[in-house]
Homo-oligomer: A and B are copies of this chain.
Amino acid sequence: MRKVRPGPLRKGDVIAVVAPGGPVDQGKLTRGLARLSAAGFVPETAEGLLRREGYLAGDDGHRAAQMEWALTLPEGRAVMAARGGYGTTRLLPLLDWGKAAARPKLLIGYSDITAVLAYVSTRLGLAAIHGPMVADLARQPDRRSLDAFIRLVGGQVTPREPWGLSCERLRGGAAEGLLTGGCLSVLTALLGTPYEPDFRGALLFLEDVGEPAYRIDRMLTQWVQSGRLRKIAGIVAAKITPVRSETEEEIRKVFASAGKRLSVPVWYGFPAGHTDPNYALPFGVRARIDARGRLFLLESPVAAT
């Protein structure tokens, strides 16, 4: 598979902002846009970004049109989701992702946006950024992770720099593979569809929110039984907030058990996804986690200039 790399994203560059999933709160959006602008980027919002139809930010046609606009905006260098929620999987059949890969822009987001990121990073060779979303920047105030994001999309991270924070070993040791993954429940909603990611050779990052341990277990069990994780290099789980009455220890146990069934290394606690700090992770690039739990990005998600 040919690796597709967009150019670096720098101060002064236009970021197209879209809502492919749930409806966006105006106040949070405004604060997030201000923060992006303060960081030097030029956010441009899609028409009708604040539309609301139940749990969706407008109907499928409206959300697909936003995405189409963002993917083809001549001056746009990147596409960032305003927020997650639900709705991105509904758009997958409505857009020509192959065409998007031909004129690559950095796709940026997490949670529901995982549906696109995992698909394009494993099936189309496109680098994508599991990272901040505009309206979430208000509740993810950590300055270090925003700075790190800016350096990552600017192409300034080297393979010698430990990325984010160190993880805790749950099973096995070092692992190296194609970094991809995302929100477990969103990834699981792609299983059996034409948009199912190809995880062979993956260093699989997994995170989630609001899921009791038994559901994380059920989803991991589904992936294990599907045979689709037979050739992964290892699992890097995020730091996941337990639902009330449960402990993080129960979540660790579930991931360790999946790793045992798969005979792969499992690491826990990377600060990305529904957490603060939310360190950006480049999907579709090779990465390595060493025996001390330090993650190294072996490639850049953007082309050298």
Contacts and interface: CB of A to CB of B under 8 A. Distances in A.
A73 interface: no
B93 A225 contact: yes
Work out how many copies of this chain go into the complex.
Answer: 2
Interface residues of A, number: 32
A221 B189 contact: yes
A161 interface: no
A193 interface: yes
Contact of A225 (B87, B92, B250): B92
A93 B222 CA distance: 12
Interface stretch (A101-109, A133-141, A210-218, A275-283): A210-218
Interface in A193-239: 193-196, 212-215, 217-219, 221-222, 225-226, 228
A192 B54 contact: no
A192 B87 CA distance: 22
Contacts of A22: 214
Nearest to A87: B214
Contact of A89 (B191, B193, B212, B218): B218
A83 to B, nearest CB: 13
Contact of A214 (B55, B191, B226, B250): B55
A42 to B, nearest CB: 32
A190 interface: yes
Given A189-B218, A195-B225, 12 more contacts: A54-B250, A54-B253, A55-B212, A55-B214, A85-B214, A86-B217, A89-B221, A189-B221, A191-B192, A192-B196, A193-B222, A193-B226
Nearest to A194: B225
A90 B258 CA distance: 11
Contacts of A55: 212-214, 217
B192 A226 contact: yes
Contact of A86 (B54, B194, B214, B228): B214
Contacts of A191: 191-192, 222
